[in-house]
Structure 1
Amino acid sequence: MDKVIVAEDLTLSYNKNETIINQASFSIESGSFTFITGASGSGKSTLLKSLYGALKPAQGSLIVGGAQINNISSKKLNFLRQHIGIVFQDYKLVKEWTIEKNVMLPLIIGGYEKSVSEQQVHKLLNHVKLNHQSGKYPLELSGGEQQRVAMARALSHNPILILADEPTGNLDEYSSELIWNLLEGANTQLKTTIIVVTHHIPETMKIDYKHLHIEYGTIYEVT
């Protein structure tokens, strides 16, 4: 199976005095579902940042989607990000844009035709049970609804990889279940590679998954 991510002796830090991830080596197969766990402050979000190029390795090697992150150019990084869907803890929705336009953002960046974009957005908002809210703005929605919008946006351009940072951390049970069903569906039906940072792996997971745990800067696989 092809590997979408390969890390070798990966070291991540924000300054020379503090190492967050220390000489980690791991790989993630294309089409797989991976959970990353660890205590608060263990480096889960830091690792996720490195996977979309927001933090370059201090040492070692990191390859994502065939691109070497260590010395990736801005142009190549932008191209890579067009094939990644990201779900942030704080949603990062554009407050001045409607829900429909927020979900459409990756399609606008990708240069899709308007009719294609509208059709895709309608389908995804239907999936997250928010079609009736398409003309509203983010601040008019609850936190759970905003996260469902963020999830729809991450899926809108059919990415090869989805990175989700605590996607259900502060959500009600209904929204959490919708998010997990969407992630499972993207993985099983579209063969999208999914990586989720979380404190707790849901007991309801019906699919096989890989589990990477971070402790004191070390990443190891839980079997």
Structure 2
Amino acid sequence: MQNIVEARNLTICYDRHQNVINSANFSINVNDFVFITGKSGSGKSTLLKSMYGDIDISSGSLNVCLSELNSITKSNLATLRQRLGIIFQDFRLINEWSVERNVMLPLIIKGFNSSVCQKQAAKLLKHVNLLHKADKFPLELSGGEQQRVAMARALAHNPQLLLCDEPTGSLDEYSSDVIWSLLKSAREGLGTCVVVVTHKIPSSLRIAYRHFELSNGEINEVF
């Protein structure tokens, strides 16, 4: 089975005296749904950021979507990110843009024409039950609605890999359930590999998944 993420002796450090990730070895398959857990400050978000090139690798190898991040060029990193969907803790929506245009952003970057962008945005906003707010702006939405817009944006370009950093951390129970349902449908309906950093795996999620735990710089799979 093909790996979409593969780490070999991966080490990431904030300075020369502190390894956040220490000689980690793991792989994630193209059809996996993966949870990464660990105590606060254990390096979960750091690991996720390394997967899209936002944090440099100190040593070892990290291959994501057939791109080696330890030696990747800026142009190749830009190409890699077009294969990824990323959901941030703080949503990172553009407040000056409408909801529709926020969802269109990955398609605009890839150079699709306005007709294609609008059609895909409408499809995804309908999927997250926000089509009626397409012309609103992020600050006019609740936190849960903003996260659903971020979800739609992350899926707009049909990514191979969806990286989610505490996607429900600041949401109420209803909004959290909606996000988990959308992540499940992304995996089952679109065939997207989903990797989620979270402090707690939801007990209500009915999907086969893998679980990696990060502790003292080590990453171990929990069976």
The interval holding the TM-score normalised by the smaller chain is over 0.9
Q: Give the aligned partner of residue 189 of structure 2.
A: 189
Provide the rounded CA distance (Å) in 1 between the counterparts of 2:87 and 2:4: 18
Does 2:149 align with 1:149?
yes
Provide the rounded CA distance (Å) in 2 between the counterparts of 1:154 and 1:143: 16
Write out per-residue CA displacement over residues 122-148 of structure 1, whole angstroms, 9 at most, x where no aligned residue.
111111111111111111111111111
Provide the rounded CA distance (Å) in 2 between the counterparts of 1:66 and 1:72: 11
Instruction: After the TM superposition, list the runs of 4 or more consecutive aligned residues in structure 1 that deviate by more than 4 angstroms.
Output: none
Provide the rounded CA distance (Å) in 1 between the counterparts of 2:104 and 2:41: 33
Q: CA deviation at 1:177?
A: 1.4
Provide the rounded CA distance (Å) in 1 between the counterparts of 2:175 and 2:115: 28
Q: Give the aligned partner of residue 52 of structure 1.
A: 52
Aligned pairs for 1:62-211 (under 5 A) are 62-211=62-211
Normalised TM-score (structure 1): 0.98
Write out per-residue CA displacement over residues 104-162 of structure 1, whole angstroms, 9 at most, x where no aligned residue.
00010011121111111111111111111111111111111111110110011100000
More moved, 35-44 vs 128-137: 128-137
Q: Which runs of 5+ in 2 are unaligned?
A: none
Provide the rounded CA distance (Å) in 2 between the counterparts of 1:219 and 1:210: 13
Provide the rounded CA distance (Å) in 1 between the counterparts of 2:17 and 2:123: 48
Q: Which amino acid aligns with 1:205?
A: L
Q: Which amino acid aligns with 1:101?
A: R
Q: Which amino acid aligns with 1:194?
A: V
Q: CA deviation at 1:205?
A: 1.7
SS of residue paired to 1:70:
coil
Q: CA deviation at 1:176?
A: 1.1
Same amino acid, percent of matched pairs:
55
Give the total of aligned pairs: 223
Provide the rounded CA distance (Å) in 2 between the counterparts of 1:51 and 1:74: 14
SS of residue paired to 1:71:
coil
Provide the rounded CA distance (Å) in 2 between the counterparts of 1:175 and 1:182: 11
Q: Which runs of 5+ in 1 are unaligned?
A: none
Q: CA deviation at 1:49?
A: 0.5
